[in-house]
A and B are shown apart, each in its own frame.
Chain A
Amino acid sequence: MKKRIQKILIANRGEIALRIMRTCREMGIATVAVYSEADRTSPHVLYADEAYYIGASPAKESYLCGEKIIEVAKKSNADAIHPGYGFLSENSAFARMVRDAGIIFIGPSPEAIEQLGDKTKAKQLLRRTTVPTVPGTDEAIESLEEAKRIAESIGYPVLIKAAAGGGGKGMRIVERAEELENALRLAQSEALNAFKDARVFIEKYIAAPRHIEFQILADNYGNVIHLGERECSIQRRHQKIIEESPSPIMTKELREQMGEAAVAVAQSAGYTNAGTVEFLVDEKRNYYFLEVNTRLQVEHPVTELVTGIDIVREQIRIAEGDTLRWKQNEIRLRGHSMECRIYAEDPSNNFFPSIGTIQYLRSPNGVGVREERGIEEGNDVSIFYDPMLAKLIAYGENREIVLARMIRALQEYRIAGVITNISACISLIQHKEFYKGNINTGFINTYFGDGFPQNISDEEYCVSAIAAVMLMENKRNSNVQTSVQQVHSSQWKNKKFTEYR
């Protein structure tokens, strides 16, 4: 018999925790938030039906503490845990602990996470299928000598990557042999910090590829479908900034081929629930399997808009034991969608993170616009977590309309208190090569290698100067007003006092 979930603990924070809770609420499922010291007043805590403190602000002491989270799930009688993305979402040990505690883990089985979430194991597994992979090592690197030998044999430049996790953490491009030692150490150390797993591997670095990924859904009975692709080539520091669906280069035939490959990858490991199969696509449209993200992706709304499917709802249904509601030929892709990730970072200063208090915030709105945000006016952007503030998603009947709509929506954003990448997103989308769809993962380095200078027009200089003078005036006026009011109020008090006397 199928089990209907009554209450879900969301083991995450920020926009994704809120995103998951919204679907839960639509499904009549109660929500449990967990929070660190820094997040007491964060939106996910305010939104949830229940909220429990799990530790100090650093993620290692809160959002990465599987035991504490499971303890809260038991205490609150949650049937299931949704891990979101990042933190413990791709940690098979955590998934196993959840299962052993008799709680449903909304995601794949720990075995599937181990096989596919681990890039080395995934590549070994895929050697037995026809899915093409990038040349590189099958085993985690044991020593510097081994790393040198392998790098020589496949040829520089090579890429060092963490065996666990993604998001650019534990990843380094090595152009020359003498850079290898330092890059290896940094990558291992970052991987250990971010994923509690220092293993890294080496592969051929394919210059200027596109990053195209396929969203898949798989039920517990061997049915797997894909929901089309997302083009995620616009990246900085190996982290995505802009994603869209469909990809500007996609054809019906290529989509069928790559989609089938993605489904084959999932089936090879008995994968269940939602996942993403990532590919690198070179200039000749050859595609290579890159990795599987065994979780909900940041950019999943892009797919939701072109398919009309709420992926979180399907995740919950699959976890309850339902069969997939659609066959592959019933999936229809309609229109175009695009997402910009809004980061607290300075594009004119090498994307360095910016911290501070959000002093003013107003979101874009209107036709074809969706925003996912985990921060409010008055909240602090701290150094403890990822600098992503929000995701802005635009939808429309075709790419041209979506580009104009996205620029319009970005221009509507008002975020003050931290530096954001909003103007950089506008510059990227307005670039003529982006407009034509000629993009690859080196796009920012190629066209914005010198950064994103702030171009201030003559008009803006004058308006700023006028505003500066008026604001200074304004301050004086309000000071005058205050003192006048004080005089008034004291007279009023005196008068009142005399009357009563």
Chain B
Amino acid sequence: MGKKLNVLVNERTIEVLQQDENTIFAEGKKYDVSHKQIDKSHHSFIINGKSYEVIRTEQRNGKQTILLNGKEIVTEIQDDVSAIMKKFQSSKKENHNYEILSPMPGLIATINITIGESVKPGTKLCVLEAMKMENDIVSQREGMVKEIFVEERTIVEKGIKLMSIG
């Protein structure tokens, strides 16, 4: 007797049923699986006689990021609880403020606006310097600058909130 799981692979859901240690059904098809861990993140799979190398690069919040054939793929095993949690989280988050996120890691070279200033689409908000290139971050919308979360000459990671426009 196996257990049925839904696995979210990037945006696609794959139904998986594990019969025993070496037998898995995916999308109704039977697969003979041999799995060996080589080192910390490096794994070998032989699936129906075909050999695959998988490198697990990240494991966070129930999500596993793997590298397969040079492609980075995010997987998440879903059960009923996680599905409900997800639904709850997405309905809770309703924000009318428009947040500017850092598109890449870099250095905030200049901030070109102040709190309270009104901006239009195309208004330059700040200049992000990364790998010796200067990149203008411009507003996509019209509004007023509500908050600025960073200072000039600071280093930011990708996806960091830079400012919010309401």
| Chain A residues within 8 Å of chain B by Cβ, number | 47
User: Closest CB-CB distance, A15 to chain B, in whole Å?
Assistant: 16
Say whether B53 contacts A414, CB under 8 Å: yes
Q: Knowing A466-B24, A469-B16, A474-B35, say if A383 contacts B73 (CB, 8 Å).
A: no
Q: Knowing A383-B130, A416-B57, A463-B47, say if A353 contacts B105 (CB, 8 Å).
A: yes
Select one of A385, A461, A467 contacting B43, CB under 8 A.
Answer: A467
B95 at the interface (CB under 8 A from A): no
Q: Knowing A383-B105, A464-B9, A468-B75, say if A360 contacts B41 (CB, 8 Å).
A: yes
Q: Beta-carbon contacts of B122-162 to A below 8 Å, as 1s and 0s?
A: 00000001111110100000000000000000010110000
User: Closest CB-CB distance, A214 to chain B, in whole Å?
Assistant: 27
Question: Which residues on B sit within 8 Å (CB–CB) of A295?
Answer: none
Bound complex: CA A186 to CA B70 (Å): 36
Say whether A465 contacts B16, CB under 8 Å: yes
Say whether B73 contacts A460, CB under 8 Å: yes
Say whether B45 contacts A422, CB under 8 Å: no
Give the one of A423, A456, A461, A465 with max B CB within 10 A.
A465
Bound complex: CA A227 to CA B24 (Å): 58
Q: Knowing A466-B33, A466-B45, say if A193 contacts B14 (CB, 8 Å).
A: no
Say whether A383 contacts B77, CB under 8 Å: no
Give the interface residue-count category, chain B: 35 or more
Nearest A-chain residue to B110, judged by Cβ: A189
Select one of B14, B42, B43 contacting A465, CB under 8 A.
Answer: B14
Bound complex: CA A193 to CA B54 (Å): 41
Select one of B5, B52, B105, B131 contacting A469, CB under 8 A.
Answer: B5
Say whether B134 contacts A419, CB under 8 Å: no
Say whether A463 contacts B70, CB under 8 Å: no
Question: Which residues on A sit within 8 Å (CB–CB) of B164?
Answer: none
Say whether B64 contacts A472, CB under 8 Å: yes
A85 at the interface (CB under 8 A from B): no
A305 at the interface (CB under 8 A from B): no
Q: Beta-carbon contacts of B50-64 to A below 8 Å, as 1s and 0s?
A: 001111110100001
Q: Beta-carbon contacts of B34-49 to A below 8 Å, as 1s and 0s?
A: 0101000111010100
User: Closest CB-CB distance, A348 to chain B, in whole Å?
Assistant: 10
Give the one of B24, B47, B133 with max A CB within 10 A.
B133
Question: Which residues on B sit within 8 Å (CB–CB) of A460?
Answer: 68-69, 71, 73
In the complex, besides A169-B132, A186-B134, A355-B157, 11 extra interface pairs with C-beta distance below 8 angstroms are: A169-B133, A193-B132, A352-B130, A355-B105, A359-B55, A385-B131, A454-B72, A462-B31, A463-B68, A467-B52, A470-B45
**B interface residues (Cβ-Cβ under 8 A, vs A):** 5, 7, 9-10, 12, 14, 16, 18, 24, 26-27, 29, 31, 33, 35, 37, 41-43, 45, 47, 52-57, 59, 64, 66-73, 75-77, 103-107, 129-134, 136, 155, 157-158
